[in-house]
C-alpha cells in the first residue's frame, strides 16, 4: 500500500525530526500493525514530556500516515515552527477563548476526511511525579463518539527520562529507548447514540485513558496507580 502523501511541509518536518529523534533515542514500536494504513483514526496518547510530539510524529509517519496534532495555539507564533505547523495542517487549540471550540471542529473535519488525529487528553504534560497520566479533558470523548473510525490508545514511555520539564533536566546520555505501545481499538458501541451528558463524556474519557494507563504499566513493568493524578478537567 502506498505511503500517505503529506506534502512539502510534512517533508520538512520529517527531515528535522527523524535525525533528531534518532540521535536522542532508540525507537521501539509495539503492535504497529494496529495503526490503519488508510482511513481515519483517533490516537489517544499520554503526555509526559515536551519532546513527546517529536517522537509521536515520527512514530505515526513510520506507519505510513500523516499525523495531525491538536497543539496549543501559541506554537503557531514561533518562527519556523509556526510555518511548519500551518503548512502541515496541524490543529491549534485555543483554550479559554471564544475560539476554544474551533479546534474540535477542525479535528472533526480531519477525521471526517479520513485523516489521523493525535490527541493528548491531559492537555499538558502530567505533573505526576512518576509520570502517570493526569485527569483529562472530555473533548477526546466528543471526538471519539461522533466518528465511526477506530479510537486507538497509545502509551509512550522514555521521553521523560530524556527531558523532564518540571525538574529542568535534559539527559541525552546514555541514549534512551523511546517506546510506543499501540493498543487495540476501544469498543465504544455501548455509548454511541446516547445523549452526550457530562457524566457520559467523563466515563468515556476515563475509559480511554485507563487503556493508555494500563498499556503504560505494561511497558514500564510496574503496577499502575488507581485513578488519575490531579483535579478533574472538563
What are the structural domain ranges in the chain? 30-220
Determine the pLDDT at residue 98: 55
* Closest alpha carbon to 108 in 137, 132, 154, 139: 139
Please name every residue paired with 42 in a beta bridge, in sequence order, or none if there are none: 117, 151
For residue 234, pLDDT beyond 80? no
Q: Choose the weakest-confidence range: 32-46, 61-75, 185-199.
A: 61-75
pLDDT digits (tens, 9 = 90+) for 24-43: 999 999 999 999 999 999 99
- In angstroms, rounded to a whole number, what is the distance separating the alpha carbons of residues 76 and 92? 8
The whole-chain average pLDDT of the chain stands at 93
pLDDT band at 97 (very low <50, low <70, confident <90, very high): low
Cα dist from 183 to 10, 44, 52, 142, 160, whole Å: 26, 10, 18, 20, 21
Share of the chain above pLDDT 90, in %: 84
pLDDT at 96: 63
Nearest in space to 119 (alpha carbons), one of 83, 93, 97: 93
Question: Residue 2 above 70 pLDDT?
Answer: no
pLDDT band at 94 (very low <50, low <70, confident <90, very high): confident
Give, in words, the CATH class of 30-220.
alpha beta
Number of residues that this document lists for the chain: 234
* 74 secondary structure, DSSP code: G
Residue 165 has pLDDT above 70, yes or no: yes
Candidate from 17-26, 68-77, 151-160, 208-217 with smallest mean pLDDT: 68-77
Mean pLDDT value across residues 173-187? 96
Task: Give residue-wise pLDDT tens across range 12-22.
Answer: 999 999 999 99
Q: What pLDDT does 73 receive?
A: 82
Calculate mean pLDDT across residues 118-145: 96
Per-residue model confidence (pLDDT) at position 1: 56
Amino acid at each position: 500500500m502506498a505511503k500517505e502523501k503529506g506534502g512539502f511541509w510534512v517533508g520538512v518536518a520529517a527531515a528535522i525530526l527523524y535525525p533528531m529523534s534518532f540521535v536522542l533515542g532508540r525507537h521501539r514500536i509495539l503492535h504497529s500493525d494496529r495503526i490503519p494504513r488508510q482511513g481515519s483514526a483517533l490516537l489517544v496518547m499520554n503526555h509526559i514530556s515536551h519532546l513527546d510530539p517529536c517522537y509521536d510524529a515520527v512514530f505515526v509517519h513510520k506507519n505510513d500516515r500523516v499525523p495531525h496534532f491538536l497543539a496549543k495555539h501559541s506554537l503557531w507564533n514561533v518562527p519556523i515552527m509556526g510555518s511548519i505547523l500551518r503548512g502541515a495542517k496541524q490543529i491549534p487549540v485555543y483554550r479559554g477563548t471564544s475560539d476554544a471550540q474551533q479546534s474540535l471542529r477542525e479535528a472533526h473535519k480531519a477525521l471526517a476526511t479520513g485523516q489521523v488525529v493525535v490527541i493528548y487528553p491531559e492537555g499538558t504534560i502530567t505533573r505526576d511525579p512518576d509520570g502517570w497520566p493526569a485527569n483529562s479533558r472530555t473533548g477526546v470523548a466528543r471526538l471519539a463518539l461522533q466518528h465511526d473510525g477506530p479510537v486507538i490508545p497509545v502509551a509512550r514511555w522514555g521521553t521523560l527520562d530524556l527531558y523532564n520539564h518540571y525538574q529542568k533536566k535534559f539527559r541525552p546520555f546514555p541514549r534512551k529507548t523511546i517506546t510506543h505501545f499501540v493498543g487495540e481499538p476501544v469498543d465504544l458501541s455501548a455509548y454511541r447514540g446516547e445523549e452526550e451528558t457530562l457524566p457520559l463524556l467523563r466515563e468515556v474519557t476515563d475509559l480511554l485513558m485507563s487503556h493508555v494507563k494500563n498499556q503504560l504499566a505494561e511497558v514500564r513493568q510496574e503496577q499502575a496507580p488507581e485513578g488519575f493524578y490531579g483535579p478533574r478537567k472538563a
